[in-house]
Amino acid sequence: MKVIHADDMDETKLTKQEKEKVSILKLANVGQYVEGVGIRDGSFYLIAQDEDDQMYLAYLGKVSPTLEMQEKLLDRETQIKLRLIRTEVDMMKWQKLSQLKKNG
């Protein structure tokens, strides 16, 4: 199995076939297995190189819960708290951006 980080995409070390597979995985959801290609795990691309890799990555794609699935498992109160935290972080980013625009 070949593991490629998103930062390594500009490197000439990747073959044309590996670049094509990463391009396909960029279109897939995180944790989604693409048959005969591999799986994307955040900023990492796991490329299947043989039948064993394909079998393992297919299994991993089935058991790897997405963020949305994880949130559904949380109780309602925790879901609301998580959304409030995300909203606060977004507001802080917006305020910081506004300050930078005024100062810069």
The pTM score is 0.59
Convert the pLDDT of each residue in 50-59 to its tens digit: 999 888 888 8
Alpha helices in the chain (DSSP H): 16-27, 51-63, 67-73, 76-103
Instruction: Of 7, 69, 2, 79, give the one whose Cα is nearest residue 32.
Output: 69
Mean of pLDDT values over 10-36: 86
Going by pLDDT thresholds of 50, 70 and 90, the confidence category of residue 73 is low
Q: Please say if the pLDDT value at position 88 is more than 80.
A: yes
Report residue 66: phi and psi, to 5°.
Answer: -80, 170
